[in-house]
Amino acid sequence: MKKNLLMCFLSILILATHAYAQEVTVTGQVTSAEDGLPLPGVSVKIKGSNVFDLTNQNGMYSIKAGQESVLIFNYIGSLPEERKVGSLRVINVQLKADSKVLNEVVVTAFGVKQEVRGLGFSTQSVKAKEIVDSKQPNLVNALQGKVAGVQITNSSGSAGASSNIMIRGGSSLSGNNQPLFVVDGIPVDNTTPLSQGGLGAGTAPASNRAIDINPDDIESITILKGPAAAALYGIRAASGAIVVTTKKGSGGSARVNYQNTFSLDNVNRLPTLQDKYKQGDQGVYNTTASDSWGPAFAPGEQIYDNLGNFFSTAFAQNHDISVSGSSEQTRYFTSASLLDQGSIVDNSDFKRKSFRLNADTKIGEKLTVGGSANYVRTDRSYVPQGSANGVMGALYWPRNEDMKNYLNPNGTQRVFNVADNDNPYWTIQNKPIINNINRVIAIGNIDYNPYSFLNISYRLGTDYYSENFKSITMPGTLESTAVRGAIAQTSGDNQITTSTIIVTGKKTIAKDFKLSLALGQNLESASNRNTTSSAVRFIDPTFPSINNTVAADRTVSERLYRRRIFGLFGDFTADWKGMAYINLRARNDWSSTLPVTDNSFFYPSVSGALIITDILREWGLKPNDNTFSYGKIRAAYSEVGKDAPAHVTTTSLASVTNTFTINPRGFITNANNPFGNPTLVPEFTKAFEIGTDLRFLKNRIGIDVTYYNSKSSNQILATRVPPSSGAFLTYLNGGSIKNEGVEFVFNAQAITNPNFKWSVDLNFAKNTSIVKGLPGTLDRIELSDAWVSANAAQGAAFLNGSLFGINGNVWKRNSGGQLLLANNGYPQVQTALTNIGDRNPDFTTGITNTFTYKKLSFAFMVDVRVGGKVYNATENSLVRSGLSTKTLDRGTKVFDGVIESTGVKNTIAVPLNQNYYQTIYANHGYDFVEDGGWYRLRYATLNYKMPAKLLEKIKVKGLDFTVTGRNLLLITNYSGVDPEVSGSGAGVGGSGSFGFDNLGIPATRGVDFGLRLTL
């Protein structure tokens, strides 16, 4: 008996050893049959066992299996595939879309995933590859031209410059119109300071804080466009939401990914300057003149290209390394990245160091615990712009003088006269601006499933960053307020902490009806503290420090901001056979920024969707999917509330006197802050949208169309008050905005041959934002933060006109349109500003083509904007300096008009001299309003993947090489540098400052070289 047992044991051992000996490592790549792109997150499982692997972001997998094993490949929305191992060591698989399922999943509220087919509102997703292809360090810029209804404007070509983003127009007359940013289920800060250290936004546009997010860490981005889509996020998502999902662990055993990019950038375009007239005043050469109103250049006389020579080639490099892996219970992803971005202006750069760790693990069968931590350090050095004393003062420099010759023999600044502007070369050396950020985004989450029908999830997250800003002006400047030097510095702490619990129950009734109810509570607490100190007149002229000044020349102030929002919400969904869906959502918020009597407000939404192809199939009216593969119609109605800015319900106090006080003792009204209004109530936006999603020819062609309209009423807006009130501004309720538009998304798999594929993605959007009402007798809301060009124009919202208008100076005319001239025959500037243009484009379009031939792929995107005006304040400055080509006519002219005092037709010939151009012509706003439309090649990228057989020999799992060109082609009627401008950056609320070209650092075009390596 013992002998038999021994023989049996030995036989089993031999068989096990033989089986182990036959176990091999199988690798490969899983791609989409439709477009050939890699599919991350595909489950690769050995049939009949619990052994599995998940593909990484390149679609690569590695698994140990026996030769008799069968691998099963599963992916959401695709048909499963099976492959027998046999003698194969590399198994590449293409998965086909399941037209009957089409259950694409997107992340909507608080990290909750939902099937797109069941949504009654419009969303659009951007995948990781599309973000990487754009090669943009700023996450916001990576979305340019990719999403219908999303308008993005970069503020300048400076490294680290801010970008403004709006979805479906604007809903606020003076407040924030940018969407909420959400990372892995928690709101994060994307604010842009309007001013820092006493410097206005137009002088030193700050960075928007979404620039801190490393694009290489992102798995996907979902854009929630309307209030219905963002309803559960509450008032912070009144303008939509950008939902970012970062990469999670996958791929079984640990994998290392390394990628880099090296970039070169140059100025894209520069304005044309006149080269006929040189330095002087009133036609006479003058060596102390700073403008070009002198005589004509003599033949052969040296003409300097001061503007073109000022800019250099910018170099940037980006390195990213990540390690990811997973098991049946745990998955993890960790990354480290370094971005070092130079600028086309010396002594300007942007650096970002980022470290991220994502992990989650299953504890038993019912509990999952996870979390993430992201540390970011950003350092930005830049220089002033937006005025003649900034680096774009090069637009004023006479061309008979070499601007590079900016120092005297004794080392002081060489100047034309003491009332002049600083030389730009002196500025970049002696007026540094430095901004440093230390940021931590930490999230912890628990997911518990006590029963099959019940889920409880809790997420706690915080976004904290400290900021240190410093601006220095060294002695020797020509700025009258800082002749002996000046310094301003701000230190601050910013934090948003969010706690959310959601209880979700699901139940199936009578087999065909599925019900889901989620109840949740959300608490958000935000705080901000800034301390600003400044000083002038350095004791030691070589030492820029606040301590290097006397006490009487120093000032210090502190600003505190706190806000708390408590919300309760519910989300109910019912669907019949996965063909008909109805969704009801509601939320009630309590906000600390509103008076106690009105700080609670409720808003609901309802949406529905019908999968018409499934319904037709259910009724036997649709036999196959060959032609009409999928059809869905959807509709949604929603409301969303919005609270006031913090601390505007009461009047703040100050301990210093000002020009508005009559009592110089004790605490007095702070004239620089709004006058308090304790009667404020919430504003509301009501929105409706209807749309359809259609797929044809086995899903090779897709069309998505959405129509929407919304009305934002009872606006909380900042408006001017009489100085006798003790303040400049106050907040009040009143006014409404109507937004209406259409969005169209088209995609096609034009060619799907095994070796060659061609896909096309197109989006189109048209939006109008009209002001339907304003409080009292107001006919416009002006934005003082968007002033440009000697206060000749500003952003403004006009009653019964565009939210994005241009308020500018014009010449006086009578009711018939004739010029009303002064007695001397010159035009007269009208005292009141008027509407001179609409910055909102007629429509926008983005077209992306992707070609794949075996291992080679080529993709490019064309970005189109038709219409939309730009106020060319840069050209206005050139006119004032005498360098504009508009000033070449320096003869005489008889203006066609009538003398205002007599009504007689004008016959007086007047000289077009320096006085005319600087004081009359430069204040004629219409001549500086131009068409801001464009056709641009946003990017073109070429990628080559090394063959798997070659990689096996060098034991590498993946190796890609990439070359990308950015902004290689721009076709526009705009005479300036680039119509994609935002003069004061993304921090300006209301109608913003986009569409104002105001002496900003020019836009760039560049090329990137990079590789991606997987080990």
Is residue 108 a contact partner of residue 79, using CB atoms and an 8 Å limit? no
In DSSP terms, which residues pair with 27 in a beta bridge? 62, 90
Whether residue 3 has pLDDT greater than 80: no
What does each C-alpha distance from 3 to 13, 17, 53, 87 come to in angstroms? 15, 21, 42, 37
**In 10 A of CB 625, how many CB atoms?**
18
Q: pLDDT (tens digit, 9 = 90+) per residue, 67-85?
A: 889 999 988 667 888 999 9
**In 10 A of CB 674, how many CB atoms?**
21
Distance CA 568, CA 232 (A): 9
Is residue 247 a contact partner of residue 358, using CB atoms and an 8 Å limit? yes
DSSP structure class, residue 8: H
Question: Would you state the pLDDT for residue 18?
Answer: 43
Which residues have C-beta within 8 Å of that of residue 858, sequence separation ≥ 6?
850, 851, 852, 940, 941, 942, 943
Whether residue 407 has pLDDT greater than 80: yes
Whether residue 961 has pLDDT greater than 60: yes
Is residue 23 a contact partner of residue 64, using CB atoms and an 8 Å limit? yes
DSSP structure class, residue 200: -
Question: Would you state the pLDDT for residue 40?
Answer: 75
Q: pLDDT (tens digit, 9 = 90+) per residue, 642-692?
A: 899 898 898 877 665 555 444 444 455 566 678 888 999 999 999 999 999
HEC states along 846-894?
EEEEEEEECCEEEEEEEEEEECCEEEEHHHHHHHHHCCEHHHCCCCEEE
Residue count of the chain, please give it: 1015
Q: Which of 325, 310, 315 is nearest to 359 (CA)?
A: 325
Lowest mean pLDDT among 19-28, 523-532, 918-927, 958-967: 19-28
Distance CA 485, CA 543 (A): 10
**Mean per-residue pLDDT, 111-132:** 83
Whether residue 930 has pLDDT greater than 90: yes
Whether residue 549 has pLDDT greater than 60: yes
Q: Which of 350, 340, 434 is nearest to 384 (CA)?
A: 434
Whether residue 505 has pLDDT greater than 90: yes
Lowest mean pLDDT among 118-132, 289-303, 693-707: 118-132
Q: Which two tokens stand for residue 82?
A: 């099976």
Distance CA 491, CA 489 (A): 7
DSSP structure class, residue 644: P
Question: Would you state the pLDDT for residue 531?
Answer: 93
Distance CA 621, CA 607 (A): 26
Which residues have C-beta within 8 Å of that of residue 75, sequence separation ≥ 6?
30, 39, 41, 42, 43, 95
Q: Which two tokens stand for residue 738?
A: 């109507």
Torsion-angle region of residue 155: left (phi > 0), alpha (psi -120 to 50) or beta? alpha
Q: pLDDT (tens digit, 9 = 90+) per residue, 229-256?
A: 777 788 888 888 999 999 987 766 788 9
Lowest mean pLDDT among 490-494, 605-609, 980-984: 980-984
Q: Where are the alpha helices (DSSP H) in 26-167?
A: 128-134
Q: Which of 486, 479, 383, 484 is nearest to 425 (CA)?
A: 383
Q: Where are the alpha helices (DSSP H) in 363-437?
A: 424-430
Q: Which two tokens stand for residue 958?
A: 């993946």
Q: What single letter denotes the amino acid at residue 808?
A: G
Long-range CB pairs of 886-890, under 8 A, 24+ apart, other chains included: 886/917, 886/921, 886/927, 887/274, 887/277, 887/917, 888/274, 888/276, 888/277, 890/277, 890/283
Tally the C-alpha atoms within 13 A of residue 408's C-alpha that lie toward its C-beta. Answer: 7
- Structure-token match 């250099």, residue found: 312
Residue ranges of E strands in 121-254: 123-127, 150-154, 163-167, 180-183, 186-188, 218-224, 241-246
Q: Bigger pLDDT: 719 or 879?
A: 879
Is residue 660 a contact partner of residue 577, using CB atoms and an 8 Å limit? no
Question: Would you state the pLDDT for residue 665?
Answer: 42
Pairing of strands 24-32, 93-95: parallel
Q: Bigger pLDDT: 623 or 442?
A: 442
Distance CA 248, CA 251 (A): 10
Question: Would you state the pLDDT for residue 12?
Answer: 40
What does each C-alpha distance from 292 to 369, 404, 913 come to in angstroms? 69, 17, 12
Q: Cα-atom radius of gyration of the chain, to the nearest Å?
A: 32
Q: Which two tokens stand for residue 418?
A: 């003491």
Q: Which two tokens stand for residue 401?
A: 């003088």
* C-alpha angle 427-430-431 in degrees, rounded to nearest 5: 70
**Mean per-residue pLDDT, 557-562:** 89
Distance CA 367, CA 365 (A): 6
Question: Would you state the pLDDT for residue 658?
Answer: 52
Q: pLDDT (tens digit, 9 = 90+) per residue, 419-470?
A: 888 999 999 999 999 999 999 999 999 999 999 899 999 999 999 999 999 9
Q: Which of 711, 712, 692, 714 is nearest to 703 (CA)?
A: 692
Q: Which two tokens stand for residue 867?
A: 């219409």
User: Can you say whether the dihedral through the CA atoms of 177, 183, 186, 191 is positive or negative?
Assistant: negative
Q: Which two tokens stand for residue 177?
A: 């119109």
Distance CA 101, CA 876 (A): 58
Whether residue 870 has pLDDT greater than 90: yes
In DSSP terms, which residues pair with 516 in a beta bridge? 506, 573
Is residue 985 a contact partner of residue 201, using CB atoms and an 8 Å limit? yes
Torsion angle of alpha carbons 527, 533, 534, 538, nearest 10°? -150
Q: pLDDT (tens digit, 9 = 90+) per residue, 367-404?
A: 999 999 999 999 999 999 888 888 888 988 999 999 99
Q: pLDDT (tens digit, 9 = 90+) per residue, 799-830?
A: 999 999 999 999 999 999 999 999 999 999 99
Question: Would you state the pLDDT for residue 617?
Answer: 86
Q: pLDDT (tens digit, 9 = 90+) per residue, 323-360?
A: 998 887 888 999 999 999 999 999 999 999 999 999 99
Tally the C-alpha atoms within 13 A of residue 672's C-alpha that lie toward its C-beta. Answer: 8
User: Exposure string (b/e) for 635-667, b if CB count within 10 Å is 16 or more?
Assistant: bbbbbbbbbbbbbbbebeeeeeeeeeeeeeeee
Which residues have C-beta within 8 Å of that of residue 867, sequence separation ≥ 6?
840, 841, 842, 843, 931, 932, 933
Q: Which of 203, 212, 265 is nearest to 433 (CA)?
A: 203
Q: Which of 161, 242, 423, 281 is nearest to 987 (CA)?
A: 161
Coil vs helix vs strand at 142: helix
Whether residue 51 has pLDDT greater than 90: no
DSSP structure class, residue 42: -
Distance CA 706, CA 711 (A): 17
Q: Average model confidence (pLDDT) for the chain?
A: 89
Q: With bands split at pLDDT 50, 70 and 90, how would you rate the model's confidence at 98?
A: low
